[in-house]
Structure 1
Amino acid sequence: MFYVIALLTGLLFGMGMALSGMIDPNLVIAFLDITGHWDPTLIFVMGGALMVFIPGYLLLIKQRQQPLLTETWSLNNNKTIDWRLIIGASLFGVGWGLLGVCPGPAITSLFAGNTDVWLFIAAMMAGLMVSKKLAPIAR
């Protein structure tokens, strides 16, 4: 049941990104370009998502002592801000700002028929493999 719900929520998330235009790199770059030709339409997408998420979180998730489909919560308790976090977040932000693509919209865009994101997905997978190799060294 866990995997069915995960699949359904992933499909719903992907459809929401596709319908809202978040899989269009030009729209994302226009949203991030606050000093040029800024397009604020993605604010409404984010606002709509928060209007659905916040009540759902407060009513369905926050009050629970135990998750519905597993024994324990899967939360990261690491609150440390270290150089690995800063470098990773910076690389993510620079890549998103330059290309207008991040992992979720890239995969959704691929399933929507956009073959331009293949290079991004290949680079993302290579980055994941390199980071797994470097993780034991960095500790």
Structure 2
Amino acid sequence: MSAEPQDRGLAFNLLILAGGLVFGVGLAVSEMAKPEVVLNFLQFEDFGLVFVMFGGSIVAGASFWLLSRTGRAAPLTGREYARRLKSFDRNVLAGGVVFGVGWGLSGICPGAAYASVGIGNLTILWAIGAMFAGAYAQALWRQWSASDADAATTTAD
């Protein structure tokens, strides 16, 4: 199977759009698009986020379980549905810590940030801009560290 994304046509793109709209409306209705609600969860004052995450986990888990038994490929990647095993290494730990600090400081995660713009919280655009800047900086760092590793390997030969 090809790992390249494939153009599935208008109907497929409309289905993706509908899924995104349902996700965004769900975040807005559950008030998880409001940073103050998320910060209240992080301070153990409001546990509504637990129920939202539990609901999403049930749907995702059941869908993945069913789809992994069909033998079909994932529509966006063309890959077979299967568990992605990733070792727990320092990059996973560091990324989790940085993500958690950013979540705690801003009170919002990436998906909810976009929904927050949709409910009129334009101040969150600063956080979204910072997310993009952070992702870009990480990509530059990864490219720089890979080129350093390549240079070290070349000089060692």
TM-score normalised by the chain length of structure 1: 0.82
- Report the equivalent of 1:31: 41
Q: Take 1:21 and 1:14, find their aligned partners in 2: how far apart are those partners? A: 10
One-letter code aligned to 2:50:
I
Match of 1:84 among 86, 91, 99: 91
Match of 2:136 among 116, 129, 138: 129
Note the aligned Cα RMSD (angstroms). Answer: 2.3
Q: How does 1:66-77 map to 2 (within 5 A)?
A: 66-67=72-73, 69=75, 71-73=78-80, 77=84
One-letter code aligned to 1:23:
A
One-letter code aligned to 1:64:
T
Q: Report which of the two structures shows the higher radius of gyration computed on alpha carbons.
A: 2
- Report the equivalent of 2:24: 14
Residue 68 of structure 1, CA deviation = 5.8
Q: Take 2:81 and 2:144, find their aligned partners in 1: how far apart are those partners? A: 25
One-letter code aligned to 1:53:
A
TM-score normalised by the chain length of structure 2: 0.73
Residue 10 of structure 1, CA deviation = 1.4
Moved over 4 A (4+): 74-78
Q: Take 1:121 and 1:54, find their aligned partners in 2: how far apart are those partners? A: 28
Residue 43 of structure 1, CA deviation = 2.1
Residue 121 of structure 1, CA deviation = 0.8
Size of the aligned set, in residue pairs, is: 135
Residue 19 of structure 1, CA deviation = 0.8
Q: Deviations over 1:28-56 (max 9, x none)?
A: 1111113xxx1112222223333433433
Q: Take 1:124 and 1:68, find their aligned partners in 2: how far apart are those partners? A: 27
Structure 1 residues 133, 78: closer, same or farther in 2, change over 3 A? Answer: farther
Q: In structure 1, list runs of 5 or more residues that go unmatched.
A: none
Q: Kindly indicate whether the alpha-carbon contact (under 8 Å) linking 2:32 and 2:38 is maintained by their aligned counterparts in 1.
A: yes
Q: Deviations over 1:105-130 (max 9, x none)?
A: 00111122111101101111111111
